[in-house]
Structures are given as structure tokens and as C-alpha cells.
């Protein structure tokens, strides 16, 4: 594909903190950035707003907007501010602003576009579905329902969602079709990554994509959700949920690789973490993802 103005168009898919780190990394080399964000969250401030107002949970959308804002933005830092007392205790200011924009604009994507203008974001934040999604998982202990319950369940055999085939915004499908690179993850495997990329319409677009599809591997297991998983286990779970990737980007300090031999996936090892915190480093991740475009 031809890069716009010499810079690639990149679409990243996931949720929560992991996707926000990837979006920050993309600002170092991409010219057209789209973040496709899970709308399955049912915990914390987002869960409370979702339950009371029936709105799409705003928390993951907020994190991704802030990641694309200038690093010295006072408004972006205020979006992350949390109240500590009274009825607003635990709510992030950005969640309240986004919820107000959803109601005022009457259209989820228009509201997110307006929030992007307020924050001067370098890219778009797109919801993976137009309405909230409820996660359901079959586990060794039976079926559990809701993102928080799935996250804490462990021994997950398969993830499903209600509705089973959520409506995906046209802007999401367009961003994926026009991408020069699709990046999936990192983040909570089932409750963020598969919760977004496993939506049937999105998984189909990933499968049909002609551009490189990169999975950024997690650095460590997540107690409960992915206890005892290695990188191969993550890739098998993606495959079982219909999500195709060409390259897995791993950090040597991260999870064990496991048996990837049976999977038709290229393994690229790069230093993409902060050695002190063992968290993904946006600068290193941006450099690695940019290099993968030229393999």
C-alpha cells in the first residue's frame, strides 16, 4: 500500500492500558492512526456509568484518547483525574466528560471525534462496537458472565459475547481496510484483546487484510485470566477465536515463548520493555513496530 505523505496508516486493536501504550508508540512513526477499543468493560467508574446510564463504558476510550494527546497537555492530565470523595468517588473526570458528550452529541463516534479535537489527538479513537458488549466465558468451573467475572475466573476455554455479532462502526472497517499495518495488543488476552478483535466483523477484516498483522505479546501472565500461559498459549487462543496474525513481537525478558512451531507465525524478538518496571516502553515499541514495516 502507498503511505499517505510518506507515513503509514496503522490501526491498533485492543483495550485498556495495553492499547494506550501501543497508540503512544504509533505516534512516533505513523501518519494516520486509528485505535479500535473494546466496549466490554463493566468494572470501576466505567461499569457504574454503564449500569446507571446504559452508555458505552468510557474508561478504555478515555485512556486511548489521552495516549494520543500531547504529553504536556493539561487537559489530558485532567481527563485522568479521579475524585476521591462523595458520590463522585472513583470516577475519572474524563469518563464524566465523555459520558456527557455521548448524551449531548447523540452519536458515539461524533462524541469521540469532538473529544479528540478538545485534546488535540494525533489520531482517531473508534469503539469496537456501537453498543456495550457483555462477555461470557466457558471455563473449567462453568460459564461466567461479565468482563470482571471473566478476568477473575481462570481456566478459560472459550470467550463469547452478547450480542453475538455486535454492530461495528463503518469507520472501524474502513480504517482496517486502508491500513498499512494492523497491530493487536498487548493487554488482557480475553477481556481486552479478544473482546475487541474477536468481534466477528473485526476478525473477518483482520483475516482478509493484505497488510502485516502484528501481535504484541504480553510481558507476563495475568493472575486468573492467563495464569500459566506462555506466548504460544496466547497465539493459540487468538487462533481459536478466529484472529489471524503474521508476526508476534516478543521481548526476551517477557513470557516464555512456548511451542510456536505448529503456528504459521513469524517471531520477532526485540527489547520493547522498560527493564526497571517490565512494562512496555512506548519509545522502544514504536521503533520495533516501525522496523517490522520494512521486513
Q: Where are the domains of the chain?
A: 9-39+126-292
Q: Given this model, what pLDDT does residue 265 score?
A: 95
Worst-scoring range by mean pLDDT, 101-105, 146-150, 192-196, 259-263? 259-263
Please give the CATH topology (third level) of the domain spanning 9-39+126-292: Rossmann fold (3.40.50)
Do 112 and 99 form a contact (C-beta atoms < 8 A)?
A: no
Q: Given this model, what pLDDT does residue 1 score?
A: 47
pLDDT tens per residue, range 12-25: 999 989 999 999 99
Does residue 245 surpass a pLDDT of 70?
yes
| Phi (first) and psi of residue 35, to 5 degrees | -110, 120
Residue 143 to residue 24: CA distance in whole angstroms: 36
| Phi (first) and psi of residue 5, to 5 degrees | 55, 30
Q: What percent of the chain has pLDDT over 70?
A: 98
Annotate 120-136 with b (16+ C-beta within 10 A) or e (fewer). Answer: ebbbbbbbbbbebbebb
Does residue 46 surpass a pLDDT of 90?
no
HEC readout, the chain: CCCECCECEEEEEECHHHHHHHHHHHCCCCCEEEEEECCCCCCHHHHHHHHHHCCCCCHHHHHHHHHHCCCCCHHHHHHCCECCCHHHCCCEHHHHHHHHHHHHHCCHHHHHHHHHHHHCCCCEEEECCCCCCEEEEEECCEEEECHHHHHCCCCEEEEEEECCCCCCCHHHHHHHHCCCEEEECCCCHHHHHHHHHCCHHHHHHHHHCCCCEEEECCCCCCCCCCCCCCHHHHHHHHHHCCCCCCEEEECCCCCCCCCCCCCCCEEEECCCEECCCCEECHHHHHHHHHHHCCC
Residue 142 to residue 231: CA distance in whole angstroms: 25
Does residue 154 surpass a pLDDT of 90?
no
Mean pLDDT taken over the chain: 94
pLDDT tens per residue, range 155-207: 899 999 999 999 999 999 999 999 999 999 999 999 999 999 999 999 999 99
pLDDT tens per residue, range 100-141: 999 999 899 999 999 999 999 999 999 999 999 999 999 988
Amino acid at each position: 500500500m502507498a503511505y499517505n505523505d510518506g507515513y503509514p496508516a496503522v490501526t491498533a486493536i485492543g483495550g485498556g492500558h495495553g492499547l494506550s501504550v501501543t497508540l503512544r508508540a504509533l505516534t512516533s512513526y505513523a501518519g494516520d492512526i486509528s485505535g479500535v477499543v473494546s466496549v466490554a468493560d463493566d468494572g470501576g467508574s466505567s461499569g457504574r456509568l454503564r449500569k446507571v446510564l446504559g452508555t458505552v463504558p468510557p474508561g478504555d476510550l478515555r485512556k486511548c484518547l489521552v495516549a494520543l494527546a500531547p504529553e504536556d497537555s493539561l487537559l489530558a492530565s485532567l481527563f485522568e483525574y479521579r475524585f476521591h470523595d462523595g458520590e463522585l468517588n472513583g470516577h475519572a473526570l474524563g469518563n464524566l466528560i465523555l459520558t456527557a458528550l455521548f448524551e449531548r452529541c447523540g452519536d458515539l463516534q461524533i462524541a469521540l471525534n469532538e473529544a479528540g479535537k478538545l485534546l488535540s489527538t494525533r489520531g482517531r479513537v473508534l469503539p469496537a462496537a456501537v453498543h456495550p458488549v457483555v462477555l461470557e466465558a466457558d471455563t473449567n468451573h462453568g460459564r461466567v458472565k461479565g468482563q470482571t467475572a471473566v478476568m477473575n475466573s481462570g481456566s478459560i476455554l472459550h470467550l463469547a459475547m452478547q450480542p453475538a455479532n455486535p454492530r461495528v462502526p463503518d469507520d472501524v472497517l474502513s480504517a482496517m481496510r486502508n491500513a498499512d499495518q494492523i497491530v493487536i495488543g498487548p493487554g488482557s488476552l480475553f477481556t481486552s484483546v479478544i473482546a475487541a478483535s474477536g468481534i466477528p466483523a473485526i476478525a473477518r477484516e483482520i483475516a482478509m487484510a493484505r497488510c502485516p498483522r502484528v501481535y504484541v505479546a504480553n510481558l507476563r501472565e495475568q493472575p486468573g485470566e492467563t495464569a500459566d500461559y506462555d506466548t504460544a498459549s496466547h497465539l493459540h487462543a487468538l487462533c481459536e477465536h478466529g484472529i489471524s496474525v503474521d508476526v508476534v513481537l516478543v521481548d526476551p525478558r517477557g513470557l516464555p515463548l512456548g511451542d510456536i512451531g505448529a503456528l504459521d507465525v513469524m517471531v520477532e524478538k526485540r527489547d520493547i520493555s522498560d527493564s526497571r518496571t517490565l512494562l512496555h516502553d512506548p519509545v522502544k515499541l514504536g521503533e520495533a513496530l516501525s522496523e517490522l514495516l520494512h521486513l
